[in-house]
Amino acid sequence: MVALTIADLVEHAVDAVPERVALICGQDHLTYERLEQRTNRLAHHLAARGVGPGSHVGIHAQNCLEAVETMIAAYKLRAVAVNVNYRYVRTELRYVFDNADLVALVHQRRYSEAVADVLPDVPELHTVLSVDDGSGVALGDGEDYETALAQGSPERDFPERSPDDLYILYTGGTTGHPKGVMWRQEDVWRVLGGGIDFTTGEHITDEHQQSRQGAENGALVTLPVAPLIHGAAQWVTLGGLFSGSTIVLLPQFEPHAVWRAIQDHGVNVVSITGDAMARPMLEAFHEGDYDTSSLLAFSSSAALFSRSVKEQYLQLLPNVFISDAIGSSETGFGGLGIVQQGAEQSGGPRVQPGKDAIVVDDDGNQVEPGSGVVGWFARGGHVPLGYYKDPDKTAAMFTEVDGRRYVTPGDSAVVEADGSITLLGRGNMCVNTGGEKVFPEEVEGALKAHPDVFDAVVVGVPDDRLGQRVAAVLQLRPDRTPDFAALDEHVRARIAGYKVPRSFWLAGEVVRVAGGKPDYRWAKRFTEQHPAAEHLDGVRARGA
């Protein structure tokens, strides 16, 4: 059987470049050979505790070497690694631990108290390993991670794996309970790990191609800035490991730390998730003096990378290939857009669609280029199996077009005349104002192009006449006072009048989820619990 599984592809890189540095995080680093030994030890220890094919192993940690080790060790056993959002409070942890059917958990000690509170409610979770993260928190329940590794064998003596082995990525939580998206490992490798070339659309047929090319071409140094609980960061990391790259991780996002890492480690490729990272990084760059001469490519995916911010990066990094990609946990890679000076942009990112990506209308027909029809982004070919333990949502996720099955996660999009696709945003976030549909990302991009606005989230709030009115929660730059009339004029020059926010709230900080996407639930609560700063129709807020 051809070995098209995550663990096999990493092992091919180990065999090709054992002495090359695989991972760097803070002061710690691992060569591919050392990574192999440690992941084998962890896998053997977990196996001795009853973890095997199909078992679910949770990872509750910020970015660290141990998080990557746990992923690989689980896949070596044909088990499933489950990402746990480290920002979750106890009720959310209890839900994920139970919903994901965890039997083992690796967590950083800073989360020991929360884990201890939840464990009595999830009796099937029988194995807990605690990583000393320097937080000073005592070991608590479970075993010490390094002690557990010392007990396991470093040998690679595992049974044959299958491309049908499962990969699960928990996603969502901004509008409801998190959902586990299930993939066959070969399929998710195809759409996220380089198994289909992102630019040519060609399938890789040789399982050793990535590791062989990495050995021949030398190591790229890659920095995924997002947390590993985010699918984009996971797959930049895993895809880099498949090709023998050196992956640099930051324990948590701090904009100056990103530029220092680029300078100190000679980073060649940086990946971020939209404006939430790009904007503070711009501020930090102008505050410091950083060497970016090693950079070759800078990419954003999975969140809004607005036009004004793109233009600033083109000026900041004129010799760097800058791109914007679309995709989701349900579709994988959806398309790539090259960022160019003065390029036309309306709505969200505009990309050349990837292989098998289309837009379908409400009747399930493929949208024709230039028709102006707003449809739903869809992807065929290698698609997920569905949502874990949720057959109803799984059934709703798929559609059939001309006898072929497509996954449609709910992202609105239009097909431009040249065949490119513009992503408008998640459909359930759409604001319906007087019968007109307004997609928050387009409005957020227009707002953030104003020099006084640092960040913005757009939601719909109740309106007696329109049903909903467009509202914005703004985070202004320091020492700026709001001039709502000027902001209104600025936005009206960029988008249609019916899309312009009519109510504004001011927040000290706009809250986002760990991956950088707006937390729309928080924004909704904020508008309900605080008086508006301004209503442009002249009606002052009457309280919460």
User: 119: number of CA atoms within 13 Å, CB side?
Assistant: 18
- Around Cβ 279, how many Cβ atoms within 10 Å? 20
Rounded to whole angstroms, how far apart are CA atoms 39 and 30? Answer: 11
d(CA 340, CA 2): 40
The reported pLDDT for the residue numbered 433 is 86
Most confident listed range (77-81, 376-380, 437-441): 77-81
Please give the residue that has the higher pLDDT: either 184 or 279: 184
With a cut of 50, say whether residue 278 has pLDDT above it.
Answer: yes
Instruction: List CB contacts of 200: < 8 A, sequence separation 6 or more.
Output: none
Residue among 500, 430, 435, 491 nearest 460 (CA): 430
pLDDT bracket for residue 441 (50, 70, 90): confident
CB 308 within 8 A of CB 343: no
Query: pLDDT at position 134, please?
Result: 92
Rounded CA-CA distance 84/97 in Å is 8
Residue extents of the structural domains in the chain: 1-13+30-203, 430-535
User: What is the reported pLDDT for 539?
Assistant: 40
3-state SS class at 102 = strand
Phi, psi of 226 (to 5 degrees): -70, 160
pLDDT level of residue 42 (50, 70, 90 thresholds): very high
> What percent of the chain clears pLDDT 90, i.e. is strictly above it?
70
Rounded to an integer, the average pLDDT of 369-386 is 93
CATH class of the domain whose range is 430-535: alpha beta
Give yes or no for a contact between 82 and 70, defined as CB atoms under 8 angstroms apart. Answer: no
Domain 1-13+30-203 bears CATH identifier 3.40.50.1820: no
**pLDDT of 174-228, one tens digit each?**
446 789 999 999 999 999 999 998 878 889 989 999 999 999 998 999 999 999 9
* CA 289 centroid distance within chain: 29
- pLDDT for res 543: 32
**pLDDT of 308-360, one tens digit each?**
899 999 999 999 999 999 888 899 888 888 888 766 655 578 888 888 999 99
Half-sphere exposure (Cβ direction) of 393: Cα atoms closer than 13 Å: 17
In this prediction, residue 411 carries a pLDDT of 85
Asked if the model's pLDDT at residue 71 lies above 80, the reply is: yes
Strands laid side by side in the 102-108 sheet: 80-83, 56-60, 102-108, 127-131, 143-144
Question: Cβ contacts of residue 182 below 8 Å, gap of 6+?
Answer: 166, 167, 168, 384, 385, 386, 387, 388
pTM of structure: 0.86
Neighbours of 415 (CB within 10 A): 23
Q: What is the pLDDT of residue 174?
A: 46
pLDDT for the residue 3: 80
Query: What is the per-residue pLDDT across 424-437, written as a single tens digit (0 to 9) for each?
Result: 877 667 888 877 77
Parallel/antiparallel/unpaired status of strands 386-387 and 179-184: antiparallel
Q: In angstroms, rounded to a whole number, what is the distance separating the alpha carbons of residues 101 and 225?
A: 29
List of residues 6+ apart from 436 with CB closer than 8 A: 498, 499
Q: How far apart are CA 10 and CA 214, in angstroms?
A: 12
**pLDDT tens sequence across 486-543:** 999 999 988 888 899 999 999 999 998 766 778 888 999 999 999 999 998 744 333 3
Q: What is the DSSP letter of 158?
A: P
For the CA atoms of 517, 523, 524, 526, the dihedral, rounded to the nearest 10 degrees, stands at: 160
